[in-house]
Amino acid sequence: MNRIVSAFILLGVFAASSGRVVKVLAGPLIRVEGKNVSISCDVNDYTGPKEQDFEWSVRHNEEFVNLVGTYDLSFTANKYKDRVDSGEIAIKRTSDNSVILEIINVKITDSGEYKCFTPSTDVTSSGNYEASVILKVIPDSLKVSGSKSRSETGSITEGDAFEMRCSVSTDATSGTYLSISWEVNSGSSIENIITLTADSSISPEKKYSERYKGGNIRLDFLGNGMYSLLFSRILPSDNGTYSCIAKEWVKEANGTWTKINEKTTQLVTVAVTPIANSLTVSLDEDNIDLSTSDTLALTCHIGGLKKDLGVEVTWFISPVLNTDMEKTPVVAHLTLDGLVNGSDSVSLGRITQNSFQLVVRDLDKTDSGYYFCKVTVWVQQFIGSWYKAVESISAPVIVNITSLDPSFTVSHTILNNPDLAGAPTKLECRMSNDQNVNGATLAVSWYFKENSPGDVPLFTYNIASVDHNLVLQASSNYSERVKNGHIVLTKTDNAAFQLQILHTRDTDRGGYFCTISTWTQTKNHNWVQTKNVSSSTSVIFWRQDNPKLAVIATPIRAVFSPGETFEMACKVIGENLKTPRYSIVINVEYAGGKTKKIISLSKDSIINLEEWNDKHRLDSVVLEKTGETAFLFRMYGSQISDVGFYFCSISAWTPDVGNTWTKTITDVSNKVRIAFEQSGPSFNVSVSSDNHFVYPGETVKIECVVLLNGAAPGMDKISYDVKWMHNNLQQSEEGHMLTSVDRWGLVQPGQSNSSSDYSLERTDAQKYLLRIHNIESMGHGNYICIVTPWIKSPDGSWQKSSEIVSEPVLITVKLDFWNSVKYPIIYGLSAAAAVGLLSILIGYLSVYCCCKKTMKANNKTRDLYKNTPMLVPSEMD
């Protein structure tokens, strides 16, 4: 049974196989004497051992002679033994089923038929066991030589045409083909430029392909084996040593090209001289003096420049000697395409091959300055592509344009001098003794000098101006009065201007003067000021006593305990005020100097709550006007937090023209004190955290503890408003509220850009716990607890005490070092130990870097949130 199965298997193998196949290169093979030859042979579709043996033999006449084999060292015939022993003829295995026959320094006599034979290892004989190929060895007749370069001159300048020639020949009659390549050695690298391939196509390298397509590089066959490489525009990047490489090729039977010979000759070393070495740009004119309306002609000469190069010319003018051309105005520009960009009065033309003339007509004073000519030389790399070869600037020529400047004097006259406030004022500004002013446009500006006592310098203010386009422009101090027509500017004739103040104020007393300027329009349609002359100062004055105010505050109903009503009267006495109205602001000054505006009453009797923003006590303050100069302030249900010094601030307003009012003077009253007999407890607040150094994502706990000193009422008679503030130290000095809870237990969230969650819990009668869940890096900073105690009085009312601000507690959010401890061992330490050491290091670094800033921020933060502490009678005295 096993024999039958084996027989079927063997029959299957035979049926699947088409027989042994031995292959060599298709011939004939043409090779050059003195070169190395390699002939491959492989076998496929065989049975038996995986590794096959091979034998090579050669037939020169009628019989084959053994050359070399893979398994029998005695296989080689005596004729070839020395060459095989020396390695000149060798068989090399490239795989189990392929070898290569190598012949070093092949000879003409090596021509013949080479046979590759594989001994049979098959079960049955099938297919072929040998294959042969004809080798034809031809003499080495390839010759390559160079001729001298054919540049236009003895030296090669950037942009010149340059030609190199190479002669290539061979005696081979048929079966071989030639390719010619050019390469350059720049010292740092060797680059191929262009090749005439064996199939007669031209192939430029990628770096030179655009120049070849554009005609800058051309390869020509001149006949008789002579080839030419021509650069129509040689570039500085073309420096180097050029060589010509000739290669001899055969086309194998399978269609592939095989190189059988190669020779190189060095042609020439090219050193390109940059155009910048020879280019000169000059102006042949010296400094020029001309008058307005004359014509200026300047010529720019270019030296050291050959034909067929692109030239761009730009003329500049600068009022001062300036080498920064980017900031220097352009007079005219001639583009590479020959287009001229200038103006109506400026032209630019090419008068010779290398001379360019600038003409400026109808000169004015703005044409004075330093004139430069800048020349930019462009070299064409190929059609449609230019590169900037060099840029050069001429020495400057100074052009002075003289003209007769206008000359005149300006006088200032008071046409109407008021003798009291409210009367009109009229002033005149006049030009006289004018010369060379014809054609100029006038502009005028009016100024006021404020009266100042003693040796104090006078302040000068611009009132209004009329420019050369007759546009009126008032200063900010006078814009409203000018807009309403209370101050009027007019031009009365060609040389005179008037300023009228219809209703003169006391504050208008002082000195007045004017300035007249002449303006002319340039040919570029720009306006230029040519002269500016100021008048002397005229004084508007009348005797007037300065206004005075006296404000007195009187307590009408004093308070001695919380819950009582406080009343304070304010009386104002004014002097030297014409039909005044009064506005009043009630202020309180707390201990420590902090002042707060409570309520105000305008001159039109409009009430406004200023900084009184306790939503539960908005109706507890009242301000009334009880007479023309008397006011009454009332505060219902006074509380402990209201302890302080109260005073009135009153301003006097006097009428102006057009139903407008001007604040004339302001004064403040004496201070009236609110103080309570204090026998209750005093308070203090402290904060602490379970961990001052945390990582992002952890939960932080901060506890706020309210401390009582002195006699403490029952816990049902005391309550607290508690809020938490956060100061990032780096983003804001003011900080922001995180969360709060009022005395009724209502929690209010604050405003925060963080994604952290905050929870607030009362853990004891005097303790509040803040939790920061999933803390972020921006959670770094100071945390402050602000507590406002409320105490229940014997009459059942609740009294609000002053805010108590805790010292800040600093929470430092450390960096995440996960990437630093990815691996379990760092220099022999465990991962846990590495994390511990890194955490300690960062902790010390954080404290070191933030130490001074944190100490400063702590003090700032505490002062910011700290309000008036609780006062006892001894402190208030």
- Are 663 and 655 in contact by the 8 Å Cβ rule? The answer is no
Two tokens at 501?
């103040």
The domain locations on the chain are: 19-138, 143-270, 275-402, 407-540, 548-658, 682-865
Rounded Cα distance, 515 and 521, in Å = 20
Least confident piece of the model among 17-26, 167-176, 294-303, 676-685: 676-685
Least confident piece of the model among 459-463, 670-674, 834-838: 834-838
pLDDT at 799 over 80: no
- Are 385 and 210 in contact by the 8 Å Cβ rule? The answer is yes
pLDDT at 452 over 80: no
Looking at residue 604, what is its pLDDT? 92
Two tokens at 235?
């570039």
pLDDT at 819 over 50: no
- How far is CA 300 from its chain centroid? 40
State which of 14-23, 387-396, 444-453, 478-487 shows the largest mean pLDDT: 478-487
**Mean pLDDT of all residues in 566-585:** 91
pLDDT at 646 over 90: yes
**Mean pLDDT of all residues in 268-286:** 85
pLDDT tens digits along 178-219:
999 999 998 888 999 999 888 888 999 998 888 888 888 999
- Are 34 and 263 in contact by the 8 Å Cβ rule? The answer is no
Looking at residue 285, what is its pLDDT? 76
Residues near 623 by beta carbon (within 8 Å), at least 6 away in sequence: 584, 586, 599, 600, 601, 607, 631, 632, 633, 634
- How far is CA 783 from its chain centroid? 37
**Mean pLDDT of all residues in 621-648:** 91
Was domain 548-658 assigned CATH 2.60.40.10?
Answer: yes
Least confident piece of the model among 317-331, 589-603, 768-782: 317-331
Looking at residue 844, what is its pLDDT? 46
Looking at residue 14, what is its pLDDT? 36
Two tokens at 269?
């070393």
Assign a CATH topology to domain 143-270: Immunoglobulin-like (2.60.40)
Rounded Cα distance, 371 and 351, in Å = 19
Asked if omega into 28 is within 30° of 0 (cis), the reply is yes
Higher pLDDT, 730 or 349: 349
pLDDT at 818 over 60: no
Assign a CATH topology to domain 407-540: Immunoglobulin-like (2.60.40)
Looking at residue 803, what is its pLDDT? 80
Other Cβ atoms less than 10 A from the Cβ of 465: the count is 19
Q: What residue type is 517 in one-letter code?
A: S
pLDDT at 856 over 80: no
pLDDT at 835 over 50: no
Residue 689 to residues 118, 697, 766, 784, Cα–Cα distance (Å)? 91, 17, 16, 12
Q: H/E element holding 112? A: strand 112-117
Tokens 């009329």 belong to which residue? Answer: 466
Q: What residue type is 597 in one-letter code?
A: K
Of the candidates 64, 58, 67, 108, the one whose C-alpha atom is nearest the C-alpha of residue 90 is: 67
Model confidence band, residue 505 (pLDDT cutoffs 50, 70, 90): confident
Looking at residue 839, what is its pLDDT? 53
pLDDT tens digits along 305-354:
776 788 889 888 888 887 667 778 888 888 887 788 877 788 888 888 88
Domain range 682-865, its CATH number among 3.10.180.10, 3.30.470.20, 2.60.40.10, 1.10.357.140: 2.60.40.10
**φ, ψ at 734 (rounded to 5°):** -85, -30
Q: What residue type is 383 in one-letter code?
A: I
**Mean pLDDT of all residues in 724-746:** 77
Q: pTM of this prediction?
A: 0.46
Of the candidates 427, 435, 381, the one whose C-alpha atom is nearest the C-alpha of residue 406 is: 435
Least confident piece of the model among 57-61, 386-390, 710-714: 710-714
Looking at residue 192, what is its pLDDT? 92
Model confidence band, residue 864 (pLDDT cutoffs 50, 70, 90): very low
Model confidence band, residue 759 (pLDDT cutoffs 50, 70, 90): confident
Higher pLDDT, 87 or 390: 87
Domain range 19-138, its CATH number among 3.30.70.20, 3.40.50.1240, 3.90.800.10, 2.60.40.10: 2.60.40.10
Was domain 275-402 assigned CATH 3.90.25.10?
Answer: no
Residues near 491 by beta carbon (within 8 Å), at least 6 away in sequence: 444, 466, 470, 497, 498
**Mean pLDDT of all residues in 23-48:** 89
pLDDT tens digits along 361-381:
888 888 888 888 988 888 877
Other Cβ atoms less than 10 A from the Cβ of 472: the count is 11
Two tokens at 161?
């045409």
Two tokens at 775?
């803390």
Looking at residue 733, what is its pLDDT? 53
Least confident piece of the model among 200-204, 258-262, 447-451, 866-870: 866-870
Number of C-alpha atoms within 13 angstroms, CB side, residue 180? 23
pLDDT at 242 over 50: yes
Looking at residue 679, what is its pLDDT? 57
Looking at residue 816, what is its pLDDT? 59
Rounded Cα distance, 211 and 591, in Å = 88
**Mean pLDDT of all residues in 1-29:** 56
Model confidence band, residue 871 (pLDDT cutoffs 50, 70, 90): very low
pLDDT at 822 over 60: no
**Mean pLDDT of all residues in 447-463:** 77
Does this chain's domain 143-270 share its CATH topology with 548-658? yes
**Mean pLDDT of all residues in 566-590:** 92
Rounded Cα distance, 713 and 681, in Å = 8
pLDDT at 359 over 50: yes
**Mean pLDDT of all residues in 417-426:** 87
pLDDT at 699 over 80: yes
Rounded Cα distance, 366 and 496, in Å = 29
Higher pLDDT, 774 or 597: 597
| Residue-averaged pLDDT of the chain | 82
Q: What residue type is 871 in one-letter code?
A: L
